[in-house]
Amino acid sequence: MARGSSSRRGVTAVLPTAALGAGLAALYLLTAHYASFPVNDVRAAASAAWSLAVRGTPDLTGLGLEEGEDWVVPVGDALYTNRFPGVVLLAVPAYALAHLVAPSAGPVPGPSAATAALACAVGVVAMAVGLRAVVPARIALLSALALGVGSGVWAVAADALWSHGATTLWLGLVCLAVLRGGPWLLTAGAAAAAVLSRPHLALAGAAAAATLWRSERRTALALLLGSATGAVAYVAWVRALFGVWSLAGPYAVFDYARVLEDDPGRDGGEWRWRLDNVGSAVLSPRYGLLAAQPVALVLLVAWVRDRIAVPPRVMALALAGLAYGLVQVLLSRISGGTGFWGGRTLLEVVVLAWPLGTWLLTHSRRGAWWWAATATAVAVAVGTHALGALTPTPPPQGDPPTDVFFWQVPAALAAAPVPLLLAVVVAAALAWAATFWLVRPRARPRDLPRDAASGSGLSP
């Protein structure tokens, strides 16, 4: 009898998570960008994946890509992309399968878009499973759903083969492994794959490892080993294709520094540009974290007001996101190009900080103003990202630095047909209602996960 009861509880726990994954996969697959490659970044990565799958080489010769326009670099008689290897390799199986079913003379958007969609769905499910180790199951599930539909995961990462689809997958698995204290191989493997997808995530792994060094030595070592392995594999890829030993990788060969020097935003000087980049990362209506996730401001106020203690594992992931974000905004322009919704270059910060936001949501002292502010902030995030994900072509913006003040939402609303507007309103309303239900008076102690109650690796 006890065994049957335990099995039923297991099925009950798995079914909502499976439904979340299936629902997000269907949503992402339905709304992904199949008509064309939205930008040259996506075209270059997909072309390399197709070439590896069909021709067995990353050489892009003969595919119509142009040096300086499509992120490709001539090396001898060959032509290689400077897109990160983790992104390219992720789409190889889809192109191989597509070629078996319907051979094509060149890369088409479908397989790469489907790869991004499914990768993001798996990453969000991994986040949901990880969050269950630190917050009640219903909060973990709805928080992961909010990540899946109320962030750039839907509007950008799941839309096409950006590097952010790969990082959403691997960072979701990193969060799962860290929050649950293992398994060791998953922690190291996911960290390595994340670094191959965006190499400066190695610093995020180092920051998380440093935070956990005293309390979670095994996890810290796994993060360090994984990050180092990913960095070494990345350098080996660069050496094999471009003939140089460089952590800067193909960007050094491509002379990306020249691209940045041509950025009008640098007219005020190097450090003025960097400070503007940092400010825009937080405050810009176009790229800023607060515009993308207004609930962050509510949760930060609650954190300070209630003096909420944060478990080491949760804090380690948030500090990893902070380390990555600082490196990103100091090294590269905040815009990240054009042809997408909102900001994309700091999406990894959002994913890594999501467990912290969920923890603060669960442990904040509740009041009427807090209920309304939290629900409204989440509804705004879901509504704006639904608008971005459902808008076929994002509104254009100006050149830097003026584009940091451009807000895509009014332009998209003005051009949206009535059915799209209704879908956005319904999504925002559902998000408001779900969040309002979620932030009812906090769960009783017996409802908390066993790990959180016992404090095994999670005590503040």
pLDDT, tens digit, 9 for 90 and up, residues 205-256: 999 999 999 999 999 999 999 999 999 999 999 999 988 888 776 665 544 4
First-last CA distance in the chain: 38
Q: What is the pLDDT of residue 277?
A: 82
Q: What is the pLDDT of residue 272?
A: 75
Q: What is the pLDDT of residue 414?
A: 87
In a domain, 459, yes or no: no
In a domain, 389, yes or no: yes
260 confidence band (pLDDT: 50, 70, 90)? very low
CA distance 456 to 459: 7
Neighbours of 331 (CB within 10 A): 14
Tens digit of each residue's pLDDT (9 = 90 or more) over 435-460:
888 776 544 444 445 444 433 444 33
Residues 6+ apart with CB under 8 A from 339: 38, 39, 394
Q: Encoding tokens for residue 217?
A: 């030595």
70 confidence band (pLDDT: 50, 70, 90)? confident
pLDDT at residue 422 greater than cutoff 90: yes
pLDDT at residue 1 greater than cutoff 60: no
Q: What is the pLDDT of residue 449?
A: 52
* φ, ψ (nearest 5 deg) of residue 83: -65, 150
In a domain, 456, yes or no: no
Neighbours of 266 (CB within 10 A): 17
Least confident of 38-42, 406-410, 416-420, 431-435: 406-410
Q: What is the pLDDT of residue 257?
A: 45
CA distance 59 to 151: 35
In a domain, 433, yes or no: yes
Split into its structural domains, the chain has a count of 1
CA distance 396 to 286: 11
CA distance 45 to 88: 5
CA distance 425 to 231: 44
Neighbours of 274 (CB within 10 A): 14
**SS3 category, 132:** coil
In a domain, 4, yes or no: no
In a domain, 155, yes or no: yes
Residue carrying structure tokens 């509740």: 366
CA distance 59 to 241: 9
Q: What is the pLDDT of residue 3?
A: 52
386 confidence band (pLDDT: 50, 70, 90)? very high
Tens digit of each residue's pLDDT (9 = 90 or more) over 15-60:
999 999 999 999 999 999 999 999 899 999 999 999 999 999 999 9
CA distance 120 to 164: 9
Neighbours of 304 (CB within 10 A): 9
String of DSSP letters for 279-322? HHHHH-TTT-HHHH-THHHHHHHHHHHHT----HHHHHHHHHHH
In a domain, 1, yes or no: no
**Average of pLDDT values for 322-326?**
96
CA distance 280 to 183: 38
pLDDT at residue 273 greater than cutoff 80: no
Mean pLDDT of the chain: 86
pLDDT at residue 81 greater than cutoff 80: yes
156: containing domain? 20-102+110-257+264-443
Tens digit of each residue's pLDDT (9 = 90 or more) over 133-163:
999 999 999 999 999 999 999 999 999 999 9
Q: Encoding tokens for residue 421?
A: 């507007």
Report the share of the chain in percent with pLDDT over 90: 63
Residue 243, Cα to own-chain centre: how many angstroms?
A: 31
What is the torsional sign of CA 230, 39, 329, 361?
negative
Q: What is the pLDDT of residue 441?
A: 54
Q: What is the pLDDT of residue 269?
A: 60
307 confidence band (pLDDT: 50, 70, 90)? very high
In a domain, 368, yes or no: yes
Distances (CA, A) of 424 to 14, 54, 149, 421, 431: 29, 40, 11, 5, 11
CA distance 45 to 241: 15
